[in-house]
Amino acid sequence: MKINKLSYLISLSLIGALNSSAEACSALIVGKSASNNHSMFIARNEDFGDNNWAKHLVYHPSEEPTAKEWNLGDGLVIPMPKKLYAYSALPDWDAKESNKEGKYFEERGVNEFNVALSATNSADVNEKANKVDPLVKNGLSEALIPSIILPQIKTAKEGVELLGKYLKDYGASEGNILYFADEKEIWMMEIGSGHHWIAVKVPDDAYVMVANALRIHNVDLDSPDVLHSEGLYEFVEKNKLLDNPNKKSFNFAKAFGVLGDTYNTHRVWLGQKMLSPSIKQSENEAIYPLFQKPDSPIDITKIKQVLSADFNGTILEKDGKRPMRVERQLETHIIEIRPEKPKALQIVTWQSLGVLSESLVVPLYSTMTKYPNSFVMGTDQYDPNSAYWQFRSLTTLANTNAQKYYPFIHKNLAVEQKDIIERFNQVDKQLSAIKAVPMMKTKSADFSVKELNHAYDFAKSLNSKIMTDLTKMSEGKKYTEKEQKAILTLPKE
C-alpha cells in the first residue's frame, strides 16, 4: 500500500532512501484447489498513513487516445498506447486533483478481458541491492501501475511481461509486490530494485500470505512457472547479493529484500497459523514458506477473518508487532475468479470500505459500469453522504466505548454479512441460468448496485443507533436494561 500524497512526492525527491513505503497492506492469495468452490482469490487490505482518506469506485470505458505521449504526472512519460481497454478501479478521492493527466493509486481492478490486478504491497529494498541497482526517481510506482497495465493486457501472464518491459525501460521507484489473475492462473510479482523483478505462478493447491517484505524464495529460475528480469541470476552473482546463489532454489527475497523484521513476519505467521494450524512454526522465523496448504478449504468468510485478524488469543497477544487489522485501513478487496462460470459472471470483487472488521464485503460483478453516488464521493473530511465515511465512522464511534460498541457492531455485521453471501449465492445461480448475455450483464450489475445501496443504508443505521445511544448517555439518566436494548436494536426490514 501507499504513502500519502505529500510523502509520496517527497520520497521521489529523496531517492537515496531505500524505500518510500509507509509499511502498509496485507494480502492473501488463494489457488483454486485451496478454496471451497474452485475459485481463485487475490485479496488485499489497503492501508494508509492517515485514518481519513476516502476511496471512490470508478469504471473507465475503453478508448483510443489521440495523444502520442502519456504524461503520468510524477515525471514519467511513456508512449501512449493506441488502444486502452475498459477496466474498473478504486482511486483515491483526490486522484484527479493530484494529477489531472493521471490516475493515482487505483489499487485494484478488472478489465474487459477478465484480467484482475491488485497493486501493491509495499516492500523494503535492502541497502546492498539499492546501491548496485538504485530505485529510479521517476520510475514505475504503486500510484501508477494499475492505470498503466490494466488497460493494456489480455492475460495475467501478459500483465507480468508488460510490467517487466516497462521496468526495463523506465525502472521502478519503489519495492513492490503485486498480483495478476485471469481464468487460468494467478501470478505473484515482486519488484526488488530499480530494474530487477521476479514473478511466480501460484500453485492451485496453495495459498500465499504476504505482508510488507519480499517473499519469493526457493524457486527454480528455469521453471515455466517463474518469470524474471533479464540477467537476474548473473546480476545477483556478480554483485554478491547472495553468498551462494542457486538457480534451482533461488532466493529473491534475501537478495533484494529485508528478512526477519517482525513488523512483517508476525503477520505471515498469524495468517499461516489461522489457515494451517496443524503446521507448527515459531512466531519469530526470518522467513516463512512461500506456498502453504490450508488445513481446510478457504472461503470468503475465512479470508475476511484473516485480513481482519489481530493477535488476541495467540502467543503474540502482548508482543505482536503489527497485525492485519489496523485503523488506518481504507478498504479491502477480495477478487474472486470463477473459471467455471459464464464470462460475464467470472469475476466478482468483494469490496469493503473503512476498517474491514467494522465493514461489509459487498459482491460487485465486473459487469458494473456505474456506481451509487455514495460510493463515488467523499474526501478527507467527514461526509455522511459518503459510503466510505459511513463505514469508517463505525470504528471511530466504537472507540468511544470499545467494550460496549465493538460487540454491538461486530454482531450485527456478522449477521448482515451472512445474509449478503446467502443473497449472492441465490442470485448468482439465477443469473448463471440466463441465456441472453446482455440480460445477464444488466441483471448482475443491477444486483450489485442494490447491494451497495443496502450496505450504505445498513452502516448508516448502525451509526444512527450508536449516536442515539451516546446522546442518551449524555443526559445523565440511567436506563433500564430493556430500554438500553431497545436503543441499540436495529429495525426489522
- Buried residues in 230-260 as b, exposed as e (16+ CB within 10 A): eebbebbeeeebbeebeeeebbbbbbbbbbe
Beta-bridge mates of residue 365 = 348
User: Largest alpha-carbon pair distance within the chain?
Assistant: 75
Beta-bridge mates of residue 102 = none
Specify whether the CB–CB gap between 26 and 324 falls below 8 A.
Answer: yes
β-pairing, 77-79 vs 40-47, is: unpaired
Specify whether the CB–CB gap between 6 and 108 falls below 8 A.
Answer: no
25 is catalytic: yes
Query: Vertex 90, ends 418 and 380: CA angle to 5°?
Result: 95
Grid coordinates of 42: 487475490
Grid coordinates of 436: 441472453
Q: Report, in this order, helix, strand and coil percent for the chain, each rounded to 5.
A: 35, 20, 45
Contacts of 196 (CB under 8 A, 6+ apart): 129, 133, 228, 229, 232, 235, 256
Whole-angstrom Cα distance, residue 191 to residue 435? 43
Specify whether the CB–CB gap between 122 and 1 falls below 8 A.
Answer: yes
CA dihedral 158, 164, 170, 173 (to 10 degrees): 110
Whole-angstrom Cα distance, residue 464 to residue 457? 10
Q: Strand (E) positions, 303-431?
A: 329-337, 347-353, 362-365
Tell me the one-letter amino acid at 195: H
Tell me the one-letter amino acid at 84: L
Among residues 24, 25, 202, 445, the one annotated as catalytic is 25
Helix (H, G, I), strand (E, B) or coil at 244: coil
Q: How far is CA 239 from the centre of its chain?
A: 33
CA distances from 308 to 24, 44, 267, 301, 329 (A): 14, 11, 11, 11, 10
CA dihedral 451, 454, 459, 462 (to 10 degrees): -140
Q: Which residues are catalytic?
A: 25
